[in-house]
């Protein structure tokens, strides 16, 4: 690892999504958004459905991350998530369809697992937001 940088690894059950040295990471923890620079004191936090942003110099990359946790060390952040995609890899049409399905289910809430439909909707909406946050990233 290069001096003064952070190795960011994003891993899901589907495989390794990202592994590279970065200068800064911000993510959505259960207590809200947090930012990590190299040399941070070690800690572990759970992650909500949300956006993770990493910066390398003037280049930023956005990711959708769904649940999991982040283990932070002075020179490494490991993110283990249920699912994660880089913004440019998000299939927006698929997310729109997932959003529609979840909305339809929520209309007949008495017949369904409400929490499951609600989190499916949250994933779909957040994917759309992440894909639109900064085009080309």
Least distance from C-beta 130 to ligand ATP, angstroms? 10
Least distance from C-beta 84 to ligand ATP, angstroms? 6
Which of 3/107 has CB closer to ligand ATP? Answer: 107
Residue among 76, 72, 90, 75 nearest 133 (CA): 90
Give the pair of three-digit tokens for residue 45: 């936090």
Q: List, in sequence order, every residue forming a beta bridge with 66; answer none if it has no partner.
A: 83
Which of 14/114 has CB closer to ligand ATP? Answer: 14
Least distance from C-beta 137 to ligand ATP, angstroms? 15
Q: What is the torsion angle, in degrees rounded to the nearest 10, for the CA atoms of residue 55, residue 56, residue 61 and residue 63?
A: -60
Which of 23/85 has CB closer to ligand ATP? Answer: 85
Interacting residues toward ligand ATP by CB under 6 A: 14, 66, 83, 85, 89-91, 94-95, 98, 120, 123, 127
Q: What is the torsion angle, in degrees rounded to the nearest 10, for the CA atoms of residue 81, residue 86, residue 89 and residue 94?
A: 50
């Amino acid at each position: 690892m290069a001096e003064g940088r952070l190795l960011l690894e994003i891993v899901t059950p589907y495989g390794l999504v990202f592994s590279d040295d970065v200068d800064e990471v911000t993510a959505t923890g259960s207590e809200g958004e947090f930012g990590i620079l190299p040399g941070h004191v070690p800690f572990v936090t759970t992650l909500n459905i949300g956006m993770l942003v990493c910066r390398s110099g003037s280049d930023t990359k956005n990711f959708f991350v769904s649940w999991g946790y982040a283990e932070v060390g002075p020179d490494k952040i490991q993110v283990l998530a249920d699912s994660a995609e880089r913004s440019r890899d998000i299939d927006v049409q698929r997310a729109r369809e997932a959003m529609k399905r979840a909305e339809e289910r929520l209309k007949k809430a008495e017949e369904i697992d409400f929490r499951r439909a609600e989190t499916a909707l949250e994933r779909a909406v957040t994917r759309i937001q992440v894909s639109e946050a900064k085009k080309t990233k």
